Amino acid sequence: MNASRIIELGRETVRIEIEGLEELSLQIGDAFARAVLAIAGLKGKVVLTGVGKSGIIARKVASTMMSIGTPAVFMHPVDGLHGDLGSIMADDAVIVFSNSGRTKEILDLIPSLKTLKTPVISITSDENSPLARASDILLTCKVSREACTLNLAPTASTTAQLALGDAIAVVVSRIKGFDRNAFLVLHPAGELGRQLMVRISEMMITGERIPVVSPETPLNDVVIEMTDKKLGFTLVRTDRNVEGMITDGDLRRVLLKHGERLAGLCARDVMSPRPKTIGADKLAIDALDMMEKHLITSLVVVDQSGILTGVVHLHDLLGRGRLGLR
Q: What is the 3-state secondary structure (H, E, C) of 243-262?
A: EEEEEHHHHHHHHHHHCCCC
DSSP 277-306: EEETTSBHHHHHHHHHHHT-SEEEEE-TTS
The mean pLDDT of 237-265, rounded to a whole number, is: 78
Distance CA 153, CA 146 (A): 7
**Residue 126 burial (CB count, 10 A):** 18
Asked if residue 300 is part of any domain, the answer here is yes
Domain count, the chain: 2
- List all residues 6 or more positions away from 306 whose beta carbon is below 8 Å from its beta carbon: 241, 277
Q: What is the DSSP letter of 127?
A: T
66 pLDDT above the threshold of 60: yes
102 pLDDT above the threshold of 90: yes
The mean pLDDT of 177-204, rounded to a whole number, is: 73
323 pLDDT above the threshold of 60: no
Which of 1-15, 177-191, 208-222 is the most confident on average? 1-15
Tell whether 103 and 224 lie within a shared domain: no
Instruction: Kindly report the CATH number assigned to the domain that includes residue 51.
Output: 3.40.50.10490
**Which pLDDT does position 109 carry in this prediction?**
93
Asked if residue 322 is part of any domain, the answer here is no
DSSP 55-84: HHHHHHHHHHHHHTT--EEE--HHHHHTTG
In this structure, are residues 213 and 313 in contact, taking their beta carbons and an 8 Å threshold? no
SS3 94: strand
Burial 158-178 (b: 16+ CB within 10 A, else e): bbbbbbbbbbbbebbbeeeeb
Tell whether 224 and 144 lie within a shared domain: no
- Residue-range definition of the domain harbouring residue 64: 3-178
Asked if residue 155 is part of any domain, the answer here is yes
Tell whether 79 and 163 lie within a shared domain: yes
Tell whether 106 and 143 lie within a shared domain: yes
Mean pLDDT of all residues belonging to the chain: 88
Q: How confident is the model at residue 49 (pLDDT cuts 50, 70, 90)?
A: very high
The mean pLDDT of 121-139, rounded to a whole number, is: 96
In this structure, are residues 51 and 103 in contact, taking their beta carbons and an 8 Å threshold? yes
% residues pLDDT > 90 (the chain): 52
CA angle (251 as vertex; 246, 254 as ends), nearest 5: 120
In this structure, are residues 258 and 276 in contact, taking their beta carbons and an 8 Å threshold? no
